[in-house]
Chain A
Amino acid sequence: MASGNLSQGALAWSRFKRDRVGKASLTIALVIVLLAAFSPIILGILNLDAYTFYKDTLDPNTAGLPKGIGGISLTHPFGVEPGTGRDILARLLTGMQLSLLIAIVATTITMAIGVVIGLIAGYFRGIVDKFISTGIDLMLAFPVLLLILSLSNPLTQRLVSLGIPEGNPARVTYIILVLSFFGWTVIARVIRGQVISIREKEFVEASISMGAGPFRIMFRQILPNLWAPITIYGSLTLPSYVATEATLAFLGVGVLPPTPTWGAMLADSVSFFRVVPSYLFFPGLTLFAVVLAFNLLGDSIRDALDPKSIR
């Protein structure tokens, strides 16, 4: 076998490199992350700001509609907001930073909770497993969106009283918390299933016969075998959280204006759809591209990690 001495990671990478969609989506995802990370610098170079009212781009005769097609010009490549004249590109980039921050932090917490609970349920089995599995079933039965919307105000207040600064910090914390709180169940189920099969492997038995305790076995012996599902589910959870965050912002649960987020921009743009379609188009397209790129990346990672996949 030609690939005799390659490590698992090297094998997966060689499969990934043959996957054109994977390479393209990885490139786009990297560009997106870099754009978000360096958005202040980029905006500095472009000499744009997310909060400035560029009044000269608006037509005073139409009560504040942008001049030309959505106010698109060399200085404002994506146009400006009707009414205020704020630059859409600047607001998209600034909003992206927050969206990705929320999605990445929430994904990390989700994965951590899901993996630990899944490990415990799968390893200890019996009554522990029954308790956790029933809990997961109960949580999956909740109307999550309704709950998030209705709990938004009281829980944000609670966070403020716990010492988190009022306003955006408390609201962002709330979003991250609810996303993780309702998201881990699916991960825990997947991990639990994997653990149940891995714990019967002989190296686990060998480890028990060496006198290893349950935590050493769970985290040293079993956990490394879970990196494939963890990577796959992590890369699929991230875009779903970007989309969920936008949905929540659209429905009014999210950061306060004037701080931009994609969902809030979309919600705002709907009322201008007929006169300034570009205001809806650019945030919508960006959201679509980001979610699609991360989703395709997740699919490609799954294919690359699965030795049985033929592509």
Chain B
Amino acid sequence: MSLLKVENLDVSFVLSDSTVQAVNGVSFELERGRTLGFVGESGSGKSVTAQAIMGLVAGENVELTGSVWFDGNAIDYEDEKSLRSIRGQEIAMVFQDPLSSLHPFYKVGDQIAESYLVHHTGAKKAEALEEAVKVMTEVGIPSPKTRINDYPHQFSGGMRQRIMIAMALINRPKLLIADEPTTALDVTVQAQILQLLKRLQKENNMAIILITHDFGVVSEVCDDVIVMYAGKAVETASADEIFKSPEHPYTKGLLDSLVGNQDMDSELIPIPGTPPSAADLPSGCSFAPRCTWANKDGMPCDSKAPALVETSSHHSSACFLPASGRSKLLERKSAK
């Protein structure tokens, strides 16, 4: 049985004059000890998906449908109390910018201890601080016994992110959601944090959802990948597969626009255009307006949205034209 199962997750924000479809029918499963990467541009719905799983998107103007099972139980998003016992205890989150996610007025030791105290009613402060020192050692903060008395601004960016991770880890969650955990850090520190996450995952047999827009990060740590575009999962595959044989034209475009995937003197190939507004999605395939293959060969790209279908084992793509079809089209073109 998988640890997390998400089925047909829909999140939309109802505004006074329009409805923003942020997440559109996303389904996936995640096993213990595995890492799932969510990749996509800003506004593709990857963060909202993760937040929705934790019940962090709520309010009068939010419509949330679909079901989420965690550890065999369906999560009830109406029940704030049970949600609170899941947050931090079963599923924990690490945010992008550790400086603004840490409270500037409290010592880091107290903040880490607090997330322990929230879920251990009746625990003594001293016991919580002991746990904090323990988990700070695990995440590699030197001399944690003295550093628990420092404030967030007295740490470097990488150390701050380690503190956020310590905070998330203190209750030994089964699932860690890392929302762009390395985006605010410089490259050398990024690698350290990713290695740290990998080590902690192994030690705690924890599942990780990693949200990123960086394929480099994906190749480093992810087992499986979901590529998101305009609120939809457009391609799901193992990380190796994605790099070896991308199916969806969007994934292909993303990989082509990466530095290092071309010959030394050829230029980067950007994806033309900009992502559509989530309030005003195209009627057919959301990617069609930017796709070089759109409507070729009589495909209904502008009128029908392609479903996510399996193209090979554990590899699905939402495109009318499989990668093999594309090469055939190319051949035909060059033959003419």
Contacts and interface: CB of A to CB of B under 8 A. Distances in A.
Chains A and B come from one and the same complex: yes
A206 interface: yes
Contacts of A206: 93, 95, 101-102, 164, 167
A209 B87 contact: yes
B154 A211 contact: no
Contact of A211 (B85, B95, B97, B106): B85
Interface stretch (B64-72, B111-119, B206-214, B231-239): B111-119
The 7 closest A-B CB pairs, nearest first, are A211-B88, A210-B88, A211-B87, A209-B93, A210-B115, A206-B101, A202-B100
Contacts of B39: none
A203 interface: yes
Interface of A is mostly: helix
B155 to A, nearest CB: 12
Interface in B55-107: 56, 60, 84-89, 92-93, 95, 97, 100-106
A216 B102 CA distance: 15
Interface residues of A, number: 21
Contact of A210 (B92, B100, B153): B92
Interface stretch (A115-123, A189-197, A217-225, A240-248): A217-225
Contacts, number: 65
Contacts of B87: 208-211
Contact of B118 (A8, A201, A211, A225): A211
A123 to B, nearest CB: 13
A249 B335 CA distance: 102
Interface of B: 54, 56, 60, 84-89, 92-93, 95, 97, 100-106, 114-115, 118-119, 151, 153-154, 164, 167-168
21 contacts: A202-B97, A202-B101, A203-B102, A203-B103, A205-B56, A205-B95, A206-B95, A206-B101, A206-B164, A208-B56, A208-B87, A210-B87, A210-B92, A210-B118, A211-B87, A211-B89, A211-B115, A212-B88, A212-B114, A220-B114, A221-B103
Nearest to B87: A211
Interface of A: 5, 7-8, 126, 201-203, 205-213, 216, 220-221, 224-225
Contact of B86 (A202, A211, A212): A211
Given A5-B154, A202-B97, A220-B114, A209 B103 contact: no
